[in-house]
Structure 1
């Protein structure tokens, strides 16, 4: 049997790829990022297309020889790279139109809480996509996972790890809201069951553990799983601060950053993540594991602890590099004559000295802003390293005495290079 997995390099999509391949399917992934696809599953077949741009005829061609289509694509919030309307509704409507009347099983991954009348646009658009499928004549199964926990860390699961890794303190927020989770492997196995026809057509079921717990308890369990010591204190997080963080994360979303602190993510947590496990217990051949059982099934290693701590430090590193380079360039422009005088005192003519300072300042400011655009982070960091090395080389020739300057203007460039290399090394989120 042949299966096409949409969003095949995402957290759930990649797990579905592996599980379907293990179950004997010939699997093809579909996504818009060729680099991410090759990193996640280099030996699988891939179709590199943007699902939001595929027409009904495109879908007919892509699914012509498929027995199963698994839709694991999705987005949390509108941003520079994502449109909820296009991903959750338009693409689904076109896909369903292409599958109507065809003997192809559609396994659609939705979300607990999806509803056309939901107040949050994430759940509302998911609900409208689900409705389009339910009203069609396609052979469909809709699965709605709760908060998915797996060995891979992305989005909400990465945020949980980071919150659990905070040194000395632990955040205390939404203490009265219940959170239910589901193990990633349970989601993947449910998809295999649906793909092989063991789940009746027309099944709509939540995938969730039997009972939830408050978010602080979930974070505490994650902290123990990571092996970090008990916190010395809890840190209450006021709602106004959360709102401010969410607005800032929303703004960064327009620069391509998919922060799990965006408004939709925090609003979903504030409303609670709760589903009904009963329909799946009746339809499937296994219940979803509890959070305790999930953590026991994937022992934490040093990689987990490194990731949790680095996830906290990464945005700090990006912010510091942006501030350092943009301010450095701005100061050079504001104090152009003083900066040029350092070069003229070493024998450089006034004109070339001013040009050198101007060029350096513009480059500094450009790199300081470029690193804020998510797709350019790695390239901007490497640009910072190259400009820093050129600065050290040129400065050593023109003003070698600055190596012995008490304020260490050359020596201080070395930590900046190290920070840029560190950020570049962990910039990829797939």
Structure 2
């Protein structure tokens, strides 16, 4: 069958694409950016489109031509610079259902979540609930799957955070350490989608997917820590006031386009636990436990590197931002003195103008690196500008390389920090 997978580049979506392609289906992934996906999986087909811009049935029609099944694996945790939950998780889905009625779509498989637990009124779950209700009332053939906490070989969002906390040195810092957690292997989610696509799961089914065990969040982290090959560590409960400060900063980062799993939505959901409803429909087959999932794919050194670097990304980006902001703002306290370094090359007026221009450039780069859509270009700009500054300083005042305070030598670590940021910038 010809299948369109929304969110095909995501953690769940990519697993679903691999499974359905392996089953012999012709799969096409739809996502906002697909350049890396095309490079990684050139045999697949891809459509670049933003769900937030597909708000009418007419806008969906060109993307649905030739498809028989739509699998919705797309989703976002919280509104931010790059995400509009009402537009992408609710309005776009309602428009899709309208378009599907006249496009030959035989079934829609929706990856949703438990929408009546902790944080049910938050936009994340409220928009999913409205989309699920609209699908159930649309008259279309559908299956809704509600996975618990999804784990797998790769990591994104909550899974990435679990690994990062598990790799924390000496202790395991936790908020809501005793919250109940149920997990499901991402490959089991893909297998359930395959059954829904093939019709083995009846139309109208609304299934929760989770392994037959319930752990505490602390126990879940302990299993991940053992998987990473680290010695057990005591759990340290993070004070509530510190937890609120962390989520406030994560929410701010979200507004700037950074999709942190520490945002308030995730913390609210986790406070109530990630579990199935007691009266929910059972899963179509026995799901693998977390221990079985981890044991099936032993961790390598790259997993440990990822886990240890994950929580360092934000401090590294902020440090670079402050470095460039201060380098642009400090000279403004005494522009004449700062401009004097350029007098061997430029007349006074031009030296002052060049100094002010460099200050503006530094401040601009320091701000832009905080905006996720601009971060990569800002980091590349930092490398280019640093090379220009070092070259100019070497011509104007080469003695600065031997200065006891090392004003030029100290720039070299900032270059390595910038390169490190580029290396760990991608989330998936």
Larger mean CA deviation between 55-64 and 12-21 belongs to: 55-64
Larger mean CA deviation between 269-278 and 103-112 belongs to: 269-278
Q: Say if 1:373 and 1:88 are closer, same or farther in 2 by CA, change over 3 A.
A: same
Q: Given that residues 161 and 223 in structure 1 are in contact (C-alpha distance below 8 angstroms), is that contact kept between their aligned partners in structure 2?
A: yes
Q: CA deviation at 1:212?
A: 1.6
**Counterpart residue number, 2:151:** 149
**Counterpart residue number, 2:183:** 181
Q: Given that residues 119 and 269 in structure 2 are in contact (C-alpha distance below 8 angstroms), is that contact kept between their aligned partners in structure 1?
A: no
**Counterpart residue number, 1:193:** 195
Alignment TM-score, normalising by the size of structure 1:
0.94
**Counterpart residue number, 1:268:** 269
Residues of 2 paired with 1:59 and 1:184: CA distance?
28
- Structure 1 runs not aligned, ≥5 long: none
- Structure 2 runs not aligned, ≥5 long: none
Q: Given that residues 208 and 277 in structure 1 are in contact (C-alpha distance below 8 angstroms), is that contact kept between their aligned partners in structure 2?
A: no
Q: What SS does structure 2 have at the residue aligned with 1:242?
A: helix
**Counterpart residue number, 1:250:** 251
Q: What SS does structure 1 have at the residue aligned with 2:383?
A: helix
Residues of 2 paired with 1:116 and 1:184: CA distance?
22
**Counterpart residue number, 1:391:** 389
Q: Given that residues 173 and 237 in structure 2 are in contact (C-alpha distance below 8 angstroms), is that contact kept between their aligned partners in structure 1?
A: yes
Residues of 2 paired with 1:309 and 1:115: CA distance?
31
Larger mean CA deviation between 124-133 and 114-123 belongs to: 114-123
Q: 2:370 aligns with which of 360, 369, 372?
A: 372
Residues of 2 paired with 1:116 and 1:157: CA distance?
19
Q: CA deviation at 1:211?
A: 2.0
**Counterpart residue number, 1:6:** 6
Q: CA deviation at 1:276?
A: 4.5
Q: CA deviation at 1:201?
A: 0.5
Residues of 2 paired with 1:195 and 1:333: CA distance?
63
Q: CA deviation at 1:116?
A: 12
Q: Given that residues 7 and 13 in structure 1 are in contact (C-alpha distance below 8 angstroms), is that contact kept between their aligned partners in structure 2?
A: yes
2:94 is equivalent to residue 96 of structure 1: no
Q: Say if 1:51 and 1:348 are closer, same or farther in 2 by CA, change over 3 A.
A: closer
**Counterpart residue number, 2:305:** 306
Q: Given that residues 116 and 125 in structure 1 are in contact (C-alpha distance below 8 angstroms), is that contact kept between their aligned partners in structure 2?
A: no
**Counterpart residue number, 1:123:** 125
Q: Given that residues 171 and 236 in structure 2 are in contact (C-alpha distance below 8 angstroms), is that contact kept between their aligned partners in structure 1?
A: yes
Q: CA deviation at 1:44?
A: 0.9
Residues of 1 paired with 2:333 and 2:118: CA distance?
54
Q: CA deviation at 1:236?
A: 2.1
Q: Given that residues 116 and 128 in structure 1 are in contact (C-alpha distance below 8 angstroms), is that contact kept between their aligned partners in structure 2?
A: no
Q: Given that residues 2 and 26 in structure 2 are in contact (C-alpha distance below 8 angstroms), is that contact kept between their aligned partners in structure 1?
A: yes
Write out the 4+ residue segments of structure 1 that deviate beyond 3 Å after TM superposition.
100-103, 113-117, 276-281, 346-349
Give CA-to-partner distance per residue, 1:362-398, whole Å, 9 cap, x none. Answer: 1111111110010111111111111111111111111
Q: Say if 1:393 and 1:266 are closer, same or farther in 2 by CA, change over 3 A.
A: same
Residues of 1 paired with 2:174 and 2:39: CA distance?
36
Give CA-to-partner distance per residue, 1:177-236, whole Å, 9 cap, x none. Answer: 1011110000000000100111110110101111221111111111111112233x4332
Larger mean CA deviation between 194-203 and 49-58 belongs to: 49-58
**Counterpart residue number, 2:296:** 297
Q: CA RMSD in A?
A: 1.9
Larger mean CA deviation between 320-329 and 375-384 belongs to: 375-384
Listed as ranges, the matches of 1:26-105 within 5 Å are: 26-54=26-54, 55-100=56-101, 102=104, 104-105=106-107
